[in-house]
Structure 1
Amino acid sequence: MTASGDEAIQAAEKRAESTRDRNLPQFDDMPIPGDTANLREGPNLNDACLALLPLVGVWRGEGEVDYPTIEGPYRFGMQLTIAHDGRPFLAHEARAWLLDEDGKVIRPAARESGFWRPQADDTIELLLTHNTGIVELFYGKPRGKASVPAWELGTDAVVRTSTAKDVTASQRLYGIVNGELGFVEERAMMGQELQPHTSALLRRVVG
């Protein structure tokens, strides 16, 4: 087990050779600490967020979206930014874009933003607001182990505008395997039961 942990650390350091010097753009005239997606820069990560430490960074890659109510599956690109400002939460922003069969960008797609709020009992609150008029409140806990960390969350509440799709529930699983961030989402919407909706594999580009 120790050797496996050592190997994971060495592999992370190797990957960080190309990302350690990158961070979010900063404004020097901000009167308060700016967000950082690089644990080597900016304020120290709050102790309350240590269980989420592996998530901090900017991640980019591709995924697939499919559901009975669409003519999929469709490929998409995605960038996920998870940053902090030293307080006991992480800021979350994800942007996606649809891709054609050759990997060329068709158009911008989903956007979401929110906060990861870890609690003293290891519970994680994740609040997400979507550009499609949906607000989701997830609860979950860390899963996996130190060498393969993971986080599993499910919705406790879903709020929709009058023009949003009829989403009633969602589950998410985030996990880091071989230095890449895997993401799987299940959704119950448009009269369908909870089932796979999107998945993606992202590589670290900052942090």
Structure 2
Amino acid sequence: MGDDQGRQLASKWAKTEALLSHSGIAPHIPPTRMFTKANLSSMLQAHGMVVVKPVRGAGGHGVIKVTRDSGSYAYTYYSKTNRFGSFDAMYQSLNGKKGARRYLIQKGIRLATIGGRPIDYRVKYVKQADGHWAITAIVGRLAKPGLFVTNICRGGTLLSGSEGIRRSFSSSAVVPKKRLMRQLTQMSTAVLEGRFPGIGQLGFDFGIDRNGKIWIFEVNTRPQ
């Protein structure tokens, strides 16, 4: 099945480009570029922290956090952090780590936490037999201590979406945050279904930063 049939649309870049075309969705997508040395340098200069991840991939595999602080550089892969005195030294090591796969660079978002552990959210949206879409789950994923990725297959802890929002913010934040996640899910699905006919289920990965803003990190067409 090809990418244009939707269900196996693996390219994060194709889905991100589609969503960026919608003025109501674009402000909720972190700045994202294709991985090149020049793009990595400029994004680190602009943001201080970025996440690089494979254009095609799931489960947190190959996701690397890169930081710049006072002229020194570091990247973290799972729980191991490597530090460097120059951008060129860091880039050479990082480029070897990522190998030949195509990668994206995305502005790093400082997520809200519970007990110092980052939390993000998965919203699963499934097309029903009658053609209508329905949200079947909103869950929180709490990172394993010491990791920045929240994936359950990487030791993350599953919470209800409501519990995650309550514990990382407050009870009063639960209803408005979940409402906005639902609205962004519905708007994004309309865009993606128009661009990639045939999709039948979507998994939206949302984050809420420490200031309470909701971000869409990526959309999976084969959600776990």
TM normalised by structure 2 equals: 0.28
Structure number with higher relative contact order (C-alpha < 8 Å, ≥ 6 residues apart):
2
Q: Which protein has the bigger strand share?
A: 1
Q: TM-score, normalised by structure 1?
A: 0.30
